[in-house]
Structure 1
Amino acid sequence: MDVKKAQGAMEAILFAGGDPVGLGRIAAVLGLDLPTAEKLMNDLADRINGAPGGLCIKNLDGRWQMCTRPEDAEYVRA
């Protein structure tokens, strides 16, 4: 699986899941080893978190979650 496809799948897993997802589970679903999955996830998080938009990716004690950026939370609650 190429990098763009793997990161697209990671993004979809986080978006659809709602709850934090362990990297081991993501790696297993995508057929990746843990070091590769970790690098791809860190790169994806850096890209999403560094771009303008209402979403961010957080690492919560080794589990990953797509979240609303804190500065946009008030609009979600409206």
Structure 2
Amino acid sequence: MKQQNEFVPEKTCEVRLTADGSHTLYSDRVQEHYHSTFGALQESRHIFIQAGLIEAHRRKTAGLQAAGTARSTNLPLKLFELG
């Protein structure tokens, strides 16, 4: 009989639709959504474009945004906004 690792549940995440029509992951293990349920795309635009990229351009400075760039939604969104 195969023994399951107690730290890795069989089903860890499921994809859920958010209010803006984009998707987020829901973790069964921690019972939380990865993005806002109001909208994953809306959240990414606010945090990484409006509060990050546009503000950095206004100040003429740039900070480390590796955490945002690593997420699959944010890099394509940044590139789209830069146009």
Alignment TM class, shorter chain as reference:
0.3 to 0.5
| Structure whose CA Rg is larger | 2
> Larger relative contact order (C-alpha < 8 A, sep ≥ 6)?
1
State the TM-score, normalized to the length of structure 2: 0.34
State the TM-score, normalized to the length of structure 1: 0.36
Higher helix share: 1
